[in-house]
């Protein structure tokens, strides 16, 4: 299956090294250099609709996948994607491409699982995942 022009453009933005995630639809682009789920959560909370956009992201775990569902993207490319993220995306009719499939996403120090992956592991509803993501971010910011 050939990569769409929008997905190729989003992926190129990642490859240029300035961004951690990008969303493209024609001439419209959203990009961020922030790590983790923060840029996706920010876009969602600002009411930015990415309906029909193609997104590219360095790492997509289950939490990020739920946020992409809520943002209503049509396809996601990731350098590294977890199996749980792939399932969330495909169950929601979002096309998926990745370079590397991981059983799960590790934390930044590689000492355990990513806190966002951990927070959403037993969740199968995007809005419940959103609550868990916000709660986890709040807890982490208090440390």
The CATH number for 24's domain is: 3.40.140.30
Residue 129 has pLDDT above 90, yes or no: yes
Token pair listed for 16:
């240029």
**Axis-axis angle for helices 83-91, 62-71 (nearest 10):** 20
pLDDT in tens, 52-63: 999 999 999 999
> Looking up tokens 């992956």, which residue turns up?
117
> Looking up tokens 């951990």, which residue turns up?
118
Token pair listed for 74:
């049509």
pLDDT in tens, 54-93: 999 999 999 999 999 999 999 999 999 999 999 999 999 9
Q: Say if residues 57 and 76 touch (Cβ distance below 8 Å).
A: yes
Range of the domain at 56: 5-105+113-141
Of the listed ranges 37-41, 68-72, 76-80, 104-108, the one predicted with least confidence: 104-108
- Number of domain units in the chain: 1
Average pLDDT, rounded, for the chain: 94
pLDDT band at 98 (very low <50, low <70, confident <90, very high): very high
pLDDT above 90: percentage of residues in the chain: 81
Partner residues linked to 77 by β-bridges: 56, 97
Residue 1 has pLDDT above 70, yes or no: no
């Amino acid at each position: 299956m050939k990569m769409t022009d929008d997905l190729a453009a989003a992926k190129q933005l990642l490859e240029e090294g300035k961004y951690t995630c990008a969303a493209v639809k024609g001439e419209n682009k959203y990009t961020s250099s922030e790590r983790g789920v923060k840029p996706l959560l920010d876009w969602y909370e600002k009411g930015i609709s990415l309906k029909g956009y193609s997104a590219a992201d360095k790492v997509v775990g289950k939490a990020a996948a739920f946020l992409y569902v809520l943002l209503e993207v049509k396809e996601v490319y990731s350098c590294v994607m977890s199996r749980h993220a792939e399932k969330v995306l495909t169950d929601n009719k979002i096309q998926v491409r990745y370079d590397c499939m991981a059983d799960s996403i590790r934390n930044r120090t590689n000492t355990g699982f990513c806190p966002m992956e951990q927070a959403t592991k037993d969740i199968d509803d995007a809005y419940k995942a959103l609550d868990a993501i916000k709660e986890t971010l709040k807890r982490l910011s208090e440390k």
